[in-house]
Chains A and B, each alone.
Chain A
Amino acid sequence: MLRPFELCEPASVAEASELLLRHGEAARIYAGGTELILAMKEGLIHYDYLVNVKTVPGLAGVRLDADGSLRIGAATPHRVLERDPSVSERFPAIARMEADVANVRVREVGTLGGNLCFAEPHADPGALLQVFDATVRLERKGGARTIPLERLFVGPFETCLEGDELLTEIVVPPLAPRSAAVYLKFGFLERPSVGVGVAVTLADGHVADARIAVGSVGPVPRRMRDAEARLQDRPVADSEAALAEAGRIAARASDAITDLHGSAEYKEHLVGVLLRRAFQAALAAVAGSERR
């Protein structure tokens, strides 16, 4: 049963930060509640105050910068990202990933910022956004900082946010020309067991840039830079062998454990399979966009 709590509705980020500071560990940001309220209902966690950021003006919405970067307000629901034309046109991989987050009820109320800050290890956005080198803006009353998204995640359900800090914006830089990103996942429970994001940039028949991120497998979603190095600067034509090696490296680095989602070996195997498929799909997407 859900124990009573007070819902605070700040009018600004500064006010929300102040509330967090005042109530300390008794308060938590509410940004859709699709995970938080569930955990509270189950009695796993309790807060006396929920600070609703969904009504803070300016925290929700999507816009494209002059340089092509996508700026996503932290309180933007998944459903908006799934359907926003600028996202599906310029960042189709993000639109597709968002369209497949949980179910439509979750996507309608759950927000991107809420998903990232709850830091449940089995989630999609944290992995894919890392292959775009996304950054996050963290604000508190009287200050702000911008950090790479990968530094936000500290451990399961743990971020580097300070007590009075809020995630306010996610900035996704565009990929270089002749690039494509793909996110693939697999799972048989409600949440993904394995998620792999890949971004590829081609130049003169070579892989000019390869970025790989693995989510859900380890305690936090992570870039797999050693695996990326195997693919970097390779002729596309002989990327197949390197891909198998990159898959093995990423699998080992993914920090898999045996749990209800499957054995560690099974998950490591899936990392390799999804990496290969995602990479090939990304190559095909670059080729497809050039034919158009």
Chain B
Amino acid sequence: MRVEREIGIRAPRETVWDFLWDVPRLAACIPGAKEVRTVEDGKRYAAVVGERVGPFRVEFPLEIEVLEVEPPARLRARAGGRDRSVDGLVKVDLDVALTVVEDGTALRILAEIAVLGKLGTLGHSVIVRKGIEIIDRFAGAVRSHLEAKGS
């Protein structure tokens, strides 16, 4: 399942790029993220992302591996993890691009989300929808964070 989102941020590209590598501040923009830590600076990170869907609660300990970096324009990363209580596996391939536009920076997020295991067969659409919602909320939070700081 492929999700593509693009939002404009009224901030210079370098500022947005630096923000992407500021782990604590970036983590604050990811809904449901906790225990975010750096395993190997610039290469590997870990986080636990938990979300609730009605009565269901899933929690994924994710390992995030940075695959490719082209400062300050593009980064590719892969995140994956297995739910602690349910037999579910989530894999996310992320491709983040920053381009200079007239009034700041365009942030484009391309995510390929895969939900496998029991969770995938039972609640695929719900998990995918939640994934899209997380990306939307994340992008919005990054924008308000950077624009609030700039103004």
A residues within 8 Å of B by Cβ?
Answer: 28, 39, 42-45, 119, 121-122, 155-158, 219, 257-261
Contacts and interface: CB of A to CB of B under 8 A. Distances in A.
Contacts of B126: 121, 156-157, 219
A42 B55 contact: no
A157 B125 contact: no
A158 B54 contact: yes
14 contacts: A28-B55, A39-B122, A42-B118, A43-B118, A121-B125, A155-B53, A156-B126, A157-B55, A257-B1, A257-B125, A259-B128, A260-B120, A260-B121, A260-B124
Contact of B54 (A42, A119, A257, A258): A119
Nearest to A119: B54
Contacts of B86: 42-44
Determine which residue in A42, A155, A258, A259 has the highest number of CB atoms from chain B within 10 A of its CB, and name it: A259
Interface residues of B, number: 21
B25 interface: no
A44 B1 CA distance: 22
Contacts, number: 55
A156 B123 CA distance: 10
* Max chain A Cβ within 10 angstroms of own Cβ: one of B1, B2, B55, B121: B55
B56 A44 contact: yes
**3 closest residue pairs by CB, A with B:** A157-B54, A259-B125, A158-B54
A259 B124 contact: yes
B119 interface: yes
A44 B119 contact: yes
A156 B55 contact: no
Nearest to B54: A157
A127 B46 CA distance: 42
Contact of B129 (A43, A45, A219, A260): A219
Interface of B: 1-2, 53-56, 85-87, 118-126, 128-129, 132
Given A42-B86, A43-B86, A157 B124 contact: no
Contacts of A44: 56, 86, 118-119, 122-123
A220 to B, nearest CB: 11
A122 B123 CA distance: 10
Interface-central residue, A156, A158, A258, by most chain B CB under 10 Å: A156
Contacts of B132: 257
Nearest to A46: B85
A158 B57 CA distance: 13
B57 to A, nearest CB: 8
B51 to A, nearest CB: 12
Contacts of B121: 260
A38 B97 CA distance: 42
B81 to A, nearest CB: 17
B126 to A, nearest CB: 5
A219 B118 CA distance: 20
Contacts of B118: 42-44
A34 B120 CA distance: 19
A258 B1 contact: yes
Contacts of B120: 260
Nearest to A260: B124
Instruction: Tell which of A44, A157, A261 has the most Cβ of chain B within 10 Å.
Output: A44
A167 to B, nearest CB: 15
B83 to A, nearest CB: 10
